[in-house]
């Protein structure tokens, strides 16, 4: 099943890892790197599938951090890492702890995380948004083969010896993609086809023989590239799909990781040699060409497609540009980022004992503050708020879309969604001094207020399911005749005809205009009147057609 979540997660430190690209010799005899937009899109789609189709609860940053700290507590005590003598020693000991925790998490993932995932071939290719791959099976297979062998990353891999307390350093090479193999029809079993050999094979109706793709991933890929169990930054796949240059994909994640720390000039200043390695450009490339062909194009891409305005300051040593300092801002703050700060502020303001005078002012304060992951706001640390807000953001979008499409359902149940409090509320008419006043009230389930989009969406779904289980649908009374607005009678004998008239029909159902409906069977008419009088009809408003078809198994 194709993943619905558009949000991609990237390990924060991965953003700075050096990419190494497979090279080839072009017609002019020059070495060229094998990289392309298509390879980046395939990598993003793979990430989307792996992150969207797995249950990561046991592998979340906070869960693994706590497990690692508990497992390593005796080692830290034995090595004296909990008792530094001065500030310098404290920094070193904290570094050693971070390395040991990272080593432990990687081992945990290696031992406990499933290593394969099967996906539908056509769904995956469609999700890449690569048009040429969607038109030709052979092109798609060749692209997948090229993508999985072209890119890998060189990542500094630190390890703490728990016996001696010494830090060892090594460079790990990690493929940018997991190993991809074909999952073929049983008639093709044992023939040993690879992506490339199947693309080149003279076989008719290849697509019908492909049951899917199988991804096999290593612990190094899971931990370092996919970022399981780590702190991360996010980006939207739909926006990244519109980027025009392969280098923009890598810089997008780098800039996201720098946004909150740009006040630290050293953190946003990079040697030109490092930036070349970062995107796989040969070191011998002259700076003026690197600037023209990579940097300026990337900055333009960031502004047009990602709403990120980035400027660069060239730092010279003599006449030579030695390093570049980036300055970042957003034309329009990313929706999920804006939501995060407002969500924290509103939850604390309305549902906690934390003293906050203004939701907007506190949200702005958070937005402009450099926040550490372990910093507490109320009873939760920042990384806990961030993870909750990401799920809440998706749920709120779904609720708002549902309200737009299924207005009658929400009105029937007196439900409103409060954008300030980020929760569903019940609206009731109260009389004050003889005057009607609409007031909102919190909804309680099992004695506890619903106070966020996650719980709100669950409540709405439960309410819908309960309603459908106790109600009937107009579709059950097909065929019938309906008096249209121009006075003529229309025969409603299938779902499509019902859909064309649904707004008018449901309005007359609500108004109980029985004269607008005619039935050949008197018993059918009497039953229709009964359900109309009892307000037991399920909606036929826009957006519910698919739900109707699903519930009643109508194609």
Question: Within a domain: residue 324?
Answer: no
Quick one: 173 and 88 in the same domain?
Answer: yes
Identify the pLDDT of residue 349. Answer: 92
- With tokens 């940018």, the residue in question is 176
Closest residue by Cα to residue 137 from 217, 193, 53, 216: 193
Q: What is the DSSP letter of 519?
A: -
Q: Please indicate, yes or no, if residue 268 is contained in any of the structural domains.
A: no
Pairwise CA distance, residues 390 & 394, whole Å: 7
Q: What is the pLDDT of residue 469?
A: 65
Residue 233 CB coordination number (10 Å): 21
- Residue 479, preceding peptide bond in cis (omega within 30° of 0): yes
Question: What backbone torsions phi and psi does residue 84 show, to the nearest 5 degrees?
Answer: -70, 150
> 171 and 53, same structural domain?
yes
Tally Cβ neighbours within 10 Å of residue 20.
16
68 in a structural domain: yes
Domain-located, residue 405: yes
Residue 235: left (phi > 0), alpha (psi -120 to 50), or beta? beta
For the chain, the domain total comes to 3
Nearest to 181 by CA among 152, 153, 211, 151: 211
Q: Report yes or no on 309 lying in a domain.
A: no
- Closest-CA residue to 411 (of 388, 436, 429): 429
Looking at 178, 202, 233, the residue that finishes a domain is 233
User: In this structure, is the dihedral angle defined by the CA atoms of residues 176, 181, 183 and 184, taken in order, positive or negative?
Assistant: positive
Report yes or no on 515 lying in a domain: yes
- Helix segments in 212-318, DSSP class H: 219-220, 237-240, 246-258, 272-279, 287-290, 296-306
* Exposed e or buried b per residue across 154-189, where buried means at least 16 C-beta atoms within 10 angstroms of its C-beta: ebebbebebeebeeeeeeeebbbbbebbbebeeebe
The verdict on residue 12 lying in a domain is yes
* pTM more than 0.75: no
In terms of domains, do 458 and 501 share one? no
Question: In this structure, are 458 and 530 located in the same domain?
Answer: no
Alpha-carbon distance 370 to 218, whole Å?
34
**477 and 406, same domain (yes or no):** no
Same domain for 188 and 65: yes
Instruction: Please list the pLDDT of the chain residue by residue as tens digits (555 residues).
Output: 555 567 788 877 666 666 666 665 666 666 555 668 888 899 899 888 887 655 555 566 677 888 888 999 999 999 999 998 988 898 899 889 989 998 898 888 777 666 788 888 988 999 899 989 988 999 999 999 888 877 777 777 789 999 999 999 888 778 888 889 888 888 887 788 888 899 888 888 888 888 889 888 877 788 777 777 777 777 888 889 999 998 999 899 888 888 767 777 888 899 999 898 888 888 888 999 999 999 999 999 998 888 888 999 999 999 999 999 998 876 545 677 778 899 999 999 999 988 898 888 898 888 878 788 788 999 888 888 988 888 888 888 888 877 766 666 787 788 889 988 999 999 887 776 667 677 889 999 888 899 999 999 889 888 877 766 666 777 788 889 999 877 789 888 887 788 788 778 877 887 788 999 999 888 888 888 888 877 777 654 434 444 444 444 444
Give me the pLDDT at residue 100, please.
92
Note whether 135 and 28 are same-domain residues. Answer: yes
Distance from chain centroid for Cα 367: 21
Note down the domain range covering 514: 471-551
* 381 in the same domain as 499: no
Q: What is the pLDDT of residue 211?
A: 85
Same domain, yes or no: 440 and 476: no
For residue 41, give the H/E element and its range.
helix 37-52
518, 538: one domain:
yes
Give yes or no: residues 41 and 190 share one domain: yes
Closest CA to 42 of 199, 150, 200, 116: 150
Q: Are strands 308-317 and 320-330 parallel, antiparallel or unpaired?
A: antiparallel
Out of 214, 233, 252, a domain closes at 233
78 and 225 in a single domain? The answer is: yes
Q: Around 9, how many Cα atoms within 13 Å sit in the side-chain half-sphere? A: 23
CA-closest candidate to residue 108, choices 219, 10, 217: 219
- Full DSSP string of 430-491: EEETTEEEEEEEE-EETTEE--SHHHHHHHHHHHHHHHHHH-B-GGGG-SEEEE-TTS-EEE
Token readout for 278 is 């970062």
Last residue of some domain: 233, 262, 279? 233
Among candidate residues 320, 555, 539, 497, the one with its CA nearest the CA of residue 411 = 539
Give the Å distances, CA to CA, from 229 to 180, 187, 257, 386, 458: 23, 40, 17, 15, 27
Query: Would you state the pLDDT for residue 3?
Result: 58
Whether residue 2 lies inside any domain: the answer is: no
């Amino acid at each position: 099943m194709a993943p619905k979540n558009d949000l991609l997660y990237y390990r924060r430190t991965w953003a700075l890892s050096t990419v190494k690209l497979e090279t080839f010799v072009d017609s002019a005899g020059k070495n060229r790197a094998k990289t392309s937009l298509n390879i980046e899109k395939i990598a993003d789609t793979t990430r989307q599938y792996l992150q969207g189709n797995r249950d990561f609860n046991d592998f979340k940053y906070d869960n693994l951090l706590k497990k690692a700290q508990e497992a390593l507590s005796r080692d830290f005590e034995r090595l004296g890492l909990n008792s530094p003598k001065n500030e310098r020693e404290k920094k070193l000991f904290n570094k050693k702890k971070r390395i040991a925790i990272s080593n432990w998490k990687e081992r945990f993932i290696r031992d406990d995380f499933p290593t394969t995932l099967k996906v539908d071939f056509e769904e995956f290719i469609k999700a890449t948004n690569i048009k040429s791959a969607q038109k030709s099976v052979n092109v798609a297979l060749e692209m997948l083969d090229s993508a999985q062998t072209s890119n890998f990353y060189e990542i500094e891999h630190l390890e703490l010896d728990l016996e001696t307390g010494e830090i060892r350093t090594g460079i790990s090479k990690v493929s940018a993609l997991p190993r991809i193999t074909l999952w073929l029809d049983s008639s093709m079993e044992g023939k040993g086809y690879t992506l490339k050999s199947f693309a080149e094979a003279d076989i008719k109706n290849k697509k019908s023989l492909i049951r899917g793709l199988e991804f096999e991933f290593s612990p190094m890929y899971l931990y370092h590239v996919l970022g399981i169990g780590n702190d991360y930054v996010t980006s939207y796949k739909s926006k990244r799909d519109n980027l025009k240059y392969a280098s923009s994909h890598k810089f997008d994640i780098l800039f996201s990781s720098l946004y909150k720390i740009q006040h630290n000039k050293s953190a946003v200043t990079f040697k030109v040699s490092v930036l070349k390695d970062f995107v796989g450009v040969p070191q011998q490339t002259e700076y003026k060409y690197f600037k023209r062909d990579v940097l300026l194009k990337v900055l333009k891409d960031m502004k047009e497609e990602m709403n990120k305005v980035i400027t660069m300051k060239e730092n010279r040593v003599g006449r030579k540009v030695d390093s570049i300092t980036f300055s970042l801002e957003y034309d329009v703050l990313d929706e999920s980022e804006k939501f995060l700060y407002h969500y924290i502020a509103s939850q604390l303001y309305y549902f906690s004992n934390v003293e906050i005078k203004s939701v907007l002012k506190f949200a702005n304060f958070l937005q402009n503050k450099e926040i550490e992951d372990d910093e507490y706001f109320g009873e939760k640390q920042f990384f806990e708020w961030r993870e909750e807000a990401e799920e809440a953001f998706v749920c709120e979008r779904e609720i708002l879309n549902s309200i737009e499409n299924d207005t009658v359902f929400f009105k029937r149940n007196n439900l409103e969604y409060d954008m300030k409090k980020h929760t569903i509320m019940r609206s009731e008419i109260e009389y004050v001094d003889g005057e009607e006043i609409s007031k909102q009230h919190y909804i309680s389930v099992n004695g506890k207020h619903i106070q966020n989009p996650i719980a709100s969406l669950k409540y709405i779904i439960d309410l819908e399911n309960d309603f459908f289980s106790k109600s009937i649908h107009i579709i059950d009374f097909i065929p019938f005749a309906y008096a249209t607005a121009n006075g003529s009678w229309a025969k409603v004998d299938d779902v499509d005809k019902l859909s064309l008239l649904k707004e008018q029909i449901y309005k007359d159902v609500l108004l109980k205009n029985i004269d607008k409906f005619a039935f050949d069977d008197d018993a059918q008419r009497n039953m229709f009147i009964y359900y109309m009088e009892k307000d037991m009809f399920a909606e036929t408003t826009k957006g519910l057609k698919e739900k109707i078809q699903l519930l009643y198994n109508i194609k």
